[in-house]
Chain A
Amino acid sequence: MEKKQYERPIIKSLNAGLMNKFGTRTEYAPMTHIDNVAVKDLIREFGSPLFVLSERKIRDNFKTAKRIFETRYPKVQFAWSYKTNYINAICNIFHQEGSWAEVVSRFEYEKALKNGVPGKKILFNGPDKTDDDLRTAIKNDSPIHIDHLDELYRLIELATELKTKPRVAIRVNMDTGVYPMWDRFGFNYENGQAWDAINKIMATDKLNLIGLHCHIGTYMLVPSAYGVAANKMADLALGVKKRYNKVISYIDMGGGFASKNTLKGSMQLGVDYVPEINQYAEAICSTLLNAGFDKDELPYLYLETGRALIDDAGFLLGSVISNKRLSDGRRATIMDFGVNILFTAFWYDHKVSPAQEFGMHTEDSVIYGPLCMNIDVVRENISLPPLKAGDQVVVHYVGAYNITQSMQFIALRPAVVLIDLSGKPHVIKQKESLKDVENNEVMPDYLKKIKL
């Protein structure tokens, strides 16, 4: 006789306390395949845990966003926000789609150059640019987005030294009605700092002010904030035209569109409340189109969209190490991945699906990672079918920031696999090795020998 499929026995109280807020069937419906490739096979071939990215989803996301903006505004240019995910293969998908690069450090700048992005198409953001960084960017004719007055004055000196007129923009921060306000980057609009910076640039005649940049925050849930921001940016651009007869050639609205993740503590699922890209696009484009620019002086709209283009294209596959019962009766499931590689677990309630079929019954559980630290919590409260050691899970919406912010703490970081358009998996980053980690360590001679 064929034996039956086993499932751990569970009993769940129906009247104790609140019903689990995410106890819906879709939330824990099994996900056995990604782009038609079996999760089981991916883990067998590349190990567990494993990051998997869908090239199809990335390209679809990009094409959709591009179409949404281009049908509303005639001059649109995306620049891939490197920090969101800077594995070179991923960057090159965006570059193949026509994206420029947006970088915030020399490290990212060099990556973009190495990937073949022309200097002119690398937007250089960030507060930490050394003289050497600035010189390099000037020589490559990259648009430099000035963050603070010290940088502005350094640039004036370097421009004099190099006898060129660097192309610059200033980063502007402003009140968009959304709090907390991101006012630590750039020059403030309301208190006149932005105008001070513009006046300084125009007075020296050493820098070519070509654009205005802002990034009003990240995971912004209020599309109208972008309308407010676009309005203030347009006001500055029109003011520059009026005061100096200088046409600002682009307005860079930064990133910040929310991905479909669920914010921690939210009573609703992200997929149900996160605005669609077209709502952001509508707010930005209609504001710019109606701002009063002359038809032939309409600025380019630059976008540095990060998480909204890639979060849902990324999955983290993992395996159950063990189950425990906590003193309060909750189930605790220990996974082979933790906050070391899932940094965004600090602010999102990530959706976690089993990678194999289960019955209809679920248990309230906590998901812990394998790190020997109390903060290593992947989900504080989740309804899961009875997973057992060795069972596999899929964590959703992890394409943004997890790989770039991962920590090498007590374990080696996992491989990253890209599933191409034909369904073929490619390793785009190998699993870390002990050698990789120790590569930069130096052992002083006198410590080489030990005897125990």
Chain B
Amino acid sequence: MKIKNNIALSDSGFLFNPSTGDSYSVNPIGQEIIRLFQEHKTMDDVVKLITKEYRIDKDTVEKDLYDFQNMLQSYKLSE
């Protein structure tokens, strides 16, 4: 998933979309995932990295990622 270029994400989880003026709050793991997407990591990469770092199984991360991507899309934060 490709996150729009101009999206700004602060360390406190505040996300701002300058093209619409909309702002969002993102929890720490969501921030991490957005950063990974900004680094052009694929879905598979992200799942691997998250399961390595956190106590969680692959299936759960996958399900949550689908939903998270949907939300990013519906907020028009991805291309």
Q: Is the CB–CB distance between B55 and A7 below 8 Å?
A: no
A360 vs B32: C-alpha distance when bound (angstroms): 16
Q: Separation in Å of the B46 CB from the closest CB of chain A?
A: 10
**Shortest Cβ distance from residue B60 to the other chain A in the assembled complex, whole angstroms:** 6
In contact, A9 and B29 (Cβ under 8 angstroms): yes
Q: Is B8 an interface residue (CB 8 A)?
A: no
Which residue in chain B gives the minimum CB-CB distance to A2? B55
- Cβ B67 vs Cβ A323 within 8 A: yes
**Contact between A9 and B24, CB atoms less than 8 A apart:** no
8 Å CB contacts to A: which residues of B2-47? 13, 15, 22-30, 32-33
Q: Which segment of A11-19, A38-46, A268-276 sits at the interface?
A: A11-19
- The answer to whether B54 and A14 touch across the interface, beta carbons within 8 angstroms, is no
Q: Which residue of A lies closest to B31 (CB)?
A: A9
Interface residues on B, range: 20 to 34
Residue interface mask B56-76, A partner, CB < 8 A = 1: 100011001101101110110
Please give, as numbers and ranges, the residues of chain B lying within 8 Å of A7 by CB-CB distance.
27-29
Taking the complex as formed, is B79 at the interface, i.e. its CB lies under 8 A from any CB of chain A? no
Q: Which of B30, B32, B61, B65 interacts with A11 by CB under 8 Å?
A: B30
CA distance A359 to B28 in the complex (A): 9
CA distance A388 to B56 in the complex (A): 11
Check B25 against A5 for contact (C-beta < 8 Å).
no
Residues of B within 8 A of A388 (CB): 60, 64
Closest to A328 in B: B74
Contact assessment for A325 and B70 in the assembled complex, using a CB-CB cutoff below 8 Å: yes
Smallest Cβ-Cβ distance to A390: which chain B residue: B60
Q: Which of A4, A6, A323, A329 is the one whose CB lies under 8 Å from B71?
A: A329
Contact A3 B67 (CB under 8 A): no
Min CB distance A430 to B, Å, is 33
> B74 — nearest CB in chain A belongs to which residue?
A329
Query: Residues 1-41 of chain A: 1 if any B CB is under 8 Å from the residue's CB, otherwise 0?
Result: 00111111111111110000000000000000000000000
Q: Which of A3, A9, A325, A361 contacts B25 (CB 8 A)?
A: A361
Chain A, residue nearest B21 (CB): A15
Q: Is the CB of B55 within 8 A of A5?
A: yes
A338 within 8 Å of B (CB atoms): no
The verdict on A3 contacting B55 (CB below 8 Å), with A11-B25, A15-B22 known, is yes
Chain A residue contacts of B24, Cβ below 8 A: 11-14
Cβ–Cβ contact A361 & B13, under 8 A: yes
- Report the nearest B residue to A1, measured CB to CB: B53
A334 and B69 alpha carbons, distance in the complex (Å): 21
- Per DSSP, are chain B's interface residues mostly helix, strand or loop, or mixed? helix
CB-CB < 8 A to A15: which residues of B? Answer: 22-23
Contact: A9 with B53, CB < 8 Å?
no
A306 at interface, CB cutoff 8 A: no
**CA of A359 to CA of B54 in the docked complex: distance in angstroms?**
15
A386 at the interface (CB under 8 A from B): yes
B54, A4: Cβ atoms closer than 8 Å:
yes
Contact B28 A14 (CB under 8 A): no
The closest CB in chain A to the CB of B16 belongs to: A14
A14 to B25, CA, bound (A): 7
Given contacts A4-B54, A388-B60, A388-B64, contact A10 B26 (CB under 8 A): yes
- B54, A6: Cβ atoms closer than 8 Å: yes
In whole angstroms, what is the CA distance A11 to B65 when docked?
Answer: 12
The 8 Å CB contact of A6, one of B13, B55, B65, B75, is: B55
The residue of chain B having its C-beta at the shortest distance from the C-beta of A8 within the complex is B64
Q: A359 to B27, Cβ gap below 8 A? A: yes
Given contacts A6-B29, A7-B29, A361-B27, contact A13 B55 (CB under 8 A): no
Closest to B56 in A: A6
A14 — which chain B residues lie within 8 A by C-beta?
A: 22-25
B64, A12: Cβ atoms closer than 8 Å: no
Given A9-B64, A12-B25, A329-B71, A3-B30 contact (CB < 8 Å): no
Q: Which chain A residues lie closer than 8 Å to B29 at the CB level? A: 6-9
Contact A4 B55 (CB under 8 A): yes
Kindly list chain A residues whose C-beta atoms are within 8 Å of the C-beta of B55: 3-6
Residues B75 and A13 in contact, CB atoms below 8 Å apart: yes
Bound-state Cα–Cα, A419 to B56, Å: 33
Q: Which residues of A contact B74 (CB under 8 A)?
A: 329
B-side interface residues toward A, CB under 8 Å? 13, 15, 22-30, 32-33, 50, 52-56, 60-61, 64-65, 67-68, 70-72, 74-75, 77
Extra inter-chain contacts (8) besides given A323-B67, A361-B30, A388-B64, CB under 8 Å: A4-B53, A11-B25, A11-B71, A11-B75, A11-B77, A13-B23, A15-B23, A359-B27
19 A-B residue contacts at CB 8 Å? A3-B53, A3-B54, A4-B54, A6-B29, A6-B50, A7-B27, A8-B67, A8-B68, A10-B27, A10-B68, A11-B24, A11-B77, A13-B22, A329-B71, A329-B74, A359-B27, A361-B26, A361-B27, A388-B60
